[in-house]
């Protein structure tokens, strides 16, 4: 079953007096349960592709399909509903809500999903323990290190066990030990829950866990290889 399908997508940005082609007639399919790393030089298009798959950036042309639904023609409301039900995001900038505690940040998506209070609490505390933040559930983002904030962001993304997780440089602010623990958690979700992962990264440690590496340059795929994951 196909989790993601992009067909001949293009995306151009205006930068000063220049047009920058971020995606150049790119086509790719990702099957359900795959663990994929996107790699490119800076400006090569991997984050734009990740955002297109998540419906955060609409391509100028072409088709984007997620969960057998064409998302590039959806309204903002339809996209929000699709993301809520199907996709977990891990952003490099964390995107935590500053006034909420770690636990409240993790619970936020479940609250929007209408999950009862007791169940939200149970699931949020369990996932915070799983990512190594037991005892820190009442701290706000400003009271946590960058690595701790990233783990809260990861917990929020995976707490509802979404079918698809999109991560942009998820280990950028983590030390080696925490990075390996995070990737081990991703691997467990991938293998035991068949969660599809698409990760944009420069980190060689992340690439060791990938079953498929897609290399991009100038908005195009230049290499697409299967490998034995760690």
pTM beyond 0.95: the answer is no
Domain ranges of the chain: 35-44+76-226
Residue 125 pLDDT: 94
| Fold of domain 35-44+76-226 | Rossmann fold (3.40.50)
Residue 22: C-alpha distances to residues 52, 86, 146, 221 (Å)? 11, 25, 29, 12
Write down the mean pLDDT value for the chain. Answer: 90
Q: What is the mean pLDDT of residues 114-122?
A: 92
Cα–Cα distance between 73 and 58 in angstroms, integer?
9
pLDDT digits (tens, 9 = 90+) for 43-77: 789 999 999 999 999 999 999 999 899 999 999 99
Task: Compute how many other C-beta atoms are within 10 angstroms of the C-beta atom of residue 44.
Answer: 20
pLDDT digits (tens, 9 = 90+) for 178-197: 888 888 888 888 888 889 99
Q: Which of 56, 64, 59 is nearest to 29 (CA)?
A: 64
Pairing between β-strand 87-90 and β-strand 220-226 as defined by DSSP bridges = unpaired
Instruction: Give start and end residues of each alpha helix (H) in 113-219.
Output: 117-130, 146-158, 176-193, 204-209
For residue 37, list its beta bridge partners: 199, 213
φ, ψ at 147 (rounded to 5°): -65, -40
Question: Could you tell me if 219 and 46 are in contact, meaning their C-beta atoms sit under 8 angstroms apart?
Answer: no
DSSP H or E stretch at residue 25: strand 18-31
pLDDT at 230 over 80: no
């Amino acid at each position: 079953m196909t989790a993601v399908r992009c067909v001949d997508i293009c995306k151009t940005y205006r930068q000063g007096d220049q047009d920058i082609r971020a995606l150049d007639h790119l086509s790719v399919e990702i099957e359900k349960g795959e663990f994929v790393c996107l790699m490119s030089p800076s400006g090569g298009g991997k984050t734009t592709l990740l955002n297109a798959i998540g419906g955060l950036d609409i391509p100028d042309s072409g088709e984007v399909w997620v969960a057998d639904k064409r998302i590039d023609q959806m309204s903002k409301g339809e996209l929000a509903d699709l993301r809520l039900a199907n996709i977990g995001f891990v952003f490099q900038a964390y995107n935590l809500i500053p006034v909420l505690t770690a636990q409240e940040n993790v619970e936020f998506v479940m609250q929007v999903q209408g999950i009862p209070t007791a169940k939200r609490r149970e699931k949020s505390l369990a996932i915070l323990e799983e990512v190594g933040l037991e005892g820190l559930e009442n701290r706000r983002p400003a009271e946590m290190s960058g690595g701790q904030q990233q783990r809260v962001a990861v917990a929020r993304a995976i707490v509802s066990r979404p079918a698809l997780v999109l991560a942009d440089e998820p280990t950028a602010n983590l030390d080696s030990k925490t990075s390996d623990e995070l990737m081990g958690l991703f691997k467990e979700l991938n293998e035991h829950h068949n969660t599809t992962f698409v990760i944009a990264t420069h980190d060689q440690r992340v690439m060791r866990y990938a079953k498929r590496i897609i290399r991009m340059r100038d908005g195009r795929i230049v290499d697409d290889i299967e490998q034995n994951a760690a």
